[in-house]
């Protein structure tokens, strides 16, 4: 079969929400499993590397661009595949917008993903970093995914255990990076109401708006309001959302820091670890609102970097290093970047 929808010399800056990067030799819009297979088989024949992209909202491209084929995942469709007294199981193509999938569930009064309303990007990328927001994460409702195993030229089904999800990570960011292309995800949502306790900032918004009836729709509306205040819209302002992951530190280290910073917020992760909001750490370094090498530290949420006037990857790289160094020098905490990098193979 012939591969359709192919473009040449496409600017990666236009395909990624951070708005940086050179050109890709080819971009192919992939709408079916068979098209995906053909992209890989043809690229192999032509000795071209392939990189997979969804909405480009968690991806930083480099100035040299990509000397190969970008497979732009556009497999459509949302289907209900099982239904019982308590749950409804839905399956979405990798190219479905994540927020469209959330809306699909909310419209059917299903709960489980409504707090993740408004996260940009595609359903197919959601498992890659086990997306999460306001107390929910993908792993909570995840059943399985279908993927193309590139080396074996086979379509496979992977369970939650296979994906090995944890905070903002899965096998697809680590040892299995570049092994699979996710084609469909399957989630089990619940026929019940969202249950408190909710994330602090969400609860504050619910209280101040006097919302006491908790439905998937009321939580979705509240989350969208809170996000609009805290996160710049990537359609208007170039950014990749949270540029750094929250810091996970040992409990003793947080307790030690709290002697000097009694207001430092912490959230329990497990018996020995706590999460510290990286935005708070960056703010304490007096960097909130600052313009560093063309990157603006967002004034509403210091964990977000906005590409205000950066033109090269190096600008971003210098800004990133300034922030990492400042946090390390003040808190002895090493912070990690959240978006992935589109590397030349
Ligand atoms: C304003 C803003 C707010 C955000 N808020 C949140 C948030 O609250 N929580 C959160 O978790 N994230 C958040 N993000 C990050 C981002 O939206 C998510 O990580 C999202 O899942 C990325 O989807 P994408 O389709 O844009 O992925 P891309 O950026 O296109 O790709 C990201 C990575 O996934 C890989 N990938 C993409 N599709 C596939 C596929 N089908 N199969 C295999 N690999 C694939 C790519 O190769 C790349 O390595 C935010 C981003 C922005 C810009």
Instruction: Please tell me the distance between residue 56's alpha carbon and the centre of ligand 1 in angstroms.
Output: 7
Ligand 1 nearest atom to the CA of residue 182, by list position = 42
Residue 244 shares a structural domain with residue 337: yes
The answer to the question of residue 105 being in a domain is: yes
pLDDT of residue 119: 97
Residue 124 shares a structural domain with residue 159: yes
Instruction: Please tell me the distance between residue 244's alpha carbon and the centre of ligand 1 in angstroms.
Output: 14
Instruction: Please tell me the distance between residue 260's alpha carbon and the centre of ligand 1 in angstroms.
Output: 36
Residue whose CB lies within 8 A of the most ligand 1 atoms, among 57, 136, 177, for a mutation test? 57
The answer to the question of residue 231 being in a domain is: no
Domain end call among 43, 73, 103: 73
* Residue 106 CB–ligand 1 contact under 6 Å: no
Number of CB atoms found within 10 A of residue 260's CB: 9
Domain end call among 15, 47, 73: 73
The answer to the question of residue 295 being in a domain is: yes
* Residue 135 CB–ligand 1 contact under 6 Å: no
Low-confidence ranges of the chain (pLDDT < 50): 1
The answer to the question of residue 286 being in a domain is: yes
pLDDT of residue 27: 97
Residue 90 shares a structural domain with residue 155: yes
CATH number of the domain enclosing 29: 3.30.43.10
Exposure b/e, 103-134, CB count within 10 A at least 16 = b: bbbbeeebbbbbbbbbbbbbbbbbbbbbbbbb
pLDDT of residue 1: 45
**Whether 276 contacts 283, CB under 8 Å:** no
For residue 155, what are the β-bridge partners? 148
Residue 90 shares a structural domain with residue 181: yes
| Residue 66 structural domain | 6-73
Residue 218 shares a structural domain with residue 299: no
* Residue 339 CB–ligand 1 contact under 6 Å: no
pTM: 0.95
Residue among 124, 128, 102 at smallest CA distance from 113:
102
pLDDT of residue 229: 87
**Whether 240 contacts 57, CB under 8 Å:** yes
Instruction: Please tell me the distance between residue 262's alpha carbon and the centre of ligand 1 in angstroms.
Output: 34
Nearest CA to ligand 1 atom 43: 181
Residue 337 shares a structural domain with residue 270: yes
Residue 87 shares a structural domain with residue 120: yes
Q: What is the pLDDT of residues 8-48, one digit of tens each?
A: 999 999 999 999 999 999 999 999 999 999 999 999 999 99
pLDDT of residue 289: 97
The answer to the question of residue 1 being in a domain is: no
Residue among 133, 94, 95, 127 at smallest CA distance from 224:
133
Residue 68 shares a structural domain with residue 83: no
Radius of gyration of the chain (CA): 21
Instruction: Please tell me the distance between residue 55's alpha carbon and the centre of ligand 1 in angstroms.
Output: 7
Residue 158 shares a structural domain with residue 211: no
Residue 29 shares a structural domain with residue 82: no
The answer to the question of residue 234 being in a domain is: no
Q: How many domains does the chain have?
A: 4
Residue 216 shares a structural domain with residue 165: no
The answer to the question of residue 334 being in a domain is: yes
* Residue 18 CB–ligand 1 contact under 6 Å: no
pLDDT of residue 344: 73
The answer to the question of residue 233 being in a domain is: no
**Dihedral of alpha carbons 21, 26, 32, 37, sign:** negative
CATH number of the domain enclosing 278: 3.90.78.10
Active site residues: 168, 242, 338
Exposure b/e, 279-302, CB count within 10 A at least 16 = b: bbbbbbbebbebebbbbbbbeebb
Residue 83 shares a structural domain with residue 101: yes
Residue whose CB lies within 8 A of the most ligand 1 atoms, among 13, 35, 49, 58, for a mutation test? 58
Nearest CA to ligand 1 atom 51: 241
């Amino acid at each position: 079969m012939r591969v359709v929808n192919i473009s040449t010399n496409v600017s990666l800056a236009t395909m990624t929400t951070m708005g940086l990067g050179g050109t890709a030799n080819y971009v192919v819009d992939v709408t079916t499993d068979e098209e995906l297979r053909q992209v890989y088989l043809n690229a192999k024949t032509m000795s071209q590397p392939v990189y997979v992209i969804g909405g480009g909202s968690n991806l930083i491209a480099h100035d040299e661009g990509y000397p190969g084929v970008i497979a732009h995942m556009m497999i459509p469709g949302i289907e209900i595949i099982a239904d019982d007294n308590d749950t409804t199981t839905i399956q979405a193509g990798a190219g479905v917008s994540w927020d469209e999938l959330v809306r699909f569930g909310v419209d059917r009064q299903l709960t489980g993903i409504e707090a993740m309303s408004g996260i940009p990007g595609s359903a197919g990328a959601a498992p890659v970093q086990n997306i999460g927001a306001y107390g929910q994460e993908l792993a909570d409702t995840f059943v399985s995914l279908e993927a193309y195993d590139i080396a074996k030229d086979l379509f496979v089904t992977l369970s939650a255990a296979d994906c090995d999800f944890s905070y903002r990570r899965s096998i697809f960011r680590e040892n299995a990076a570049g092994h699979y292309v996710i084609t469909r995800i399957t989630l089990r949502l619940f026929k019940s109401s969202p249950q408190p306790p909710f994330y602090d900032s969400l609860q504050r918004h619910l209280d101040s708006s006097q919302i006491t009836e908790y439905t998937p729709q009321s939580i979705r509306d509240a989350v969208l309001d809170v996000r609009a205040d805290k996160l710049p819209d990537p359609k208007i302002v170039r950014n990749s959302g949270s540029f750094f992951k929250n810091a996970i530190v040992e409990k003793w280290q947080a307790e030690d820091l709290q002697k000097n910073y009694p207001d430092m917020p912490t959230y329990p992760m497990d018996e020995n670890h706590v999460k510290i909001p990286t935005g708070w750490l960056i703010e304490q370094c007096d960097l909130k609102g600052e313009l560093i090498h063309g990157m603006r530290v967002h004034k509403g949420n210091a964990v977000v970097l906005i590409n205000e006037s950066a033109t090269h990857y190096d600008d971003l790289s210098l800004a990133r290093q300034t922030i990492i160094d400042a946090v390390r020098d003040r808190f002895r905490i090493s912070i990690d970047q959240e978006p992935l990098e589109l590397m030349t193979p």
